[in-house]
């Protein structure tokens, strides 16, 4: 089997795995087919880029399991006019997928190195609607608020107040909540005129949401 055929087969299996885990939204599947996970996984683990598993990246962080990325993106229900805030850039993979679905994506990470590496990939892929920032994501991005959608890729004990405050009325936030050393729940928060509505989606495991900047 040629290298190209092998890669095509792995990508086809990748999409099949997403569907079998419940990622059924056509726009989300289209974005995940268009954004190759390969460039976001480096070094020893690059061979496993098309497997449905989380993988280590720099700064002691991970790139999330593709099916979890797909389910979180699907739960966000992003429209082409939306402005999205992502807390936890990591490899940049989630932001790249969001860029195919939204008007504008702002992504924050506490690790300068991760932001720098993600920006380089966004540039390579001509994803010019993403702004990647080094900062403390637990405070959100007040100068660009409000946001139509907010996604958090690290677990807090409760949805952070500053992020709820930066979510537009009618907006959706998706994030893992729970103790960092136990199984967490992925939840979706709808902000309505009457307050906040919560849906519990599934059990997940994410790194904890930490305050301050990371030491690279």
Integer Cα distance of 141 and 184 in angstroms: 25
- Among candidate residues 64, 67, 91, 138, the one labeled active-site is 64
Is 82 in contact with 70 (CB distance < 8 Å)?
A: no
Which among 196, 176, 88 has a CA at the least distance from the CA of 133?
88
106 beta partners: 85, 131
| Residue 20 backbone dihedrals phi, psi, to 5 degrees | -65, -20
Integer Cα distance of 37 and 50 in angstroms: 7
Catalytic residue status for 64: yes
Distances (CA, A) of 164 to 47, 114, 148, 151, 175: 38, 25, 11, 11, 11
- The encoded tokens of residue 189 equal 């928060």
To 5 degrees, how large is the angle CA 167–CA 129–CA 77? 45
To 5 degrees, how large is the angle CA 31–CA 37–CA 201? 65
- The encoded tokens of residue 116 equal 């720098």
Q: Which residues are catalytic?
A: 64
């Amino acid at each position: 089997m040629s290298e190209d055929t092998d890669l095509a087969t792995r990508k086809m299996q990748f999409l099949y795995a997403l569907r079998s885990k419940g990622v059924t939204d056509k726009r989300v599947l289209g974005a995940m087919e268009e954004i190759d996970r390969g460039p976001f996984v480096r070094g020893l683990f690059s061979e496993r880029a098309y497997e449905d598993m989380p993988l280590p990246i720099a700064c002691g962080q991970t790139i999330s399991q593709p099916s979890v990325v797909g389910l979180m993106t699907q739960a966000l229900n992003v429209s082409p006019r939306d402005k999205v805030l992502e807390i936890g850039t990591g490899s940049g993979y989630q932001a790249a997928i969001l860029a195919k679905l939204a008007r504008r994506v702002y992504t924050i990470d506490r690790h300068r190195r991760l932001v720098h590496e993600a920006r380089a990939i966004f540039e390579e892929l001509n994803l010019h609607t993403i702004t990647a920032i080094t900062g403390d994501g637990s405070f959100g991005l007040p100068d660009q608020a409000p946001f139509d959608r907010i996604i958090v890729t690290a677990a807090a004990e409760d949805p952070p107040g500053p992020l709820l405050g930066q979510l537009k009325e009618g907006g959706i936030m998706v994030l893992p909540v729970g103790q960092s050393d136990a199984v967490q729940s992925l939840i979706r928060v709808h902000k309505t005129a009457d307050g906040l509505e919560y849906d519990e989606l599934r059990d997940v495991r994410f790194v904890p949401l930490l305050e301050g900047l990371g030491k690279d």
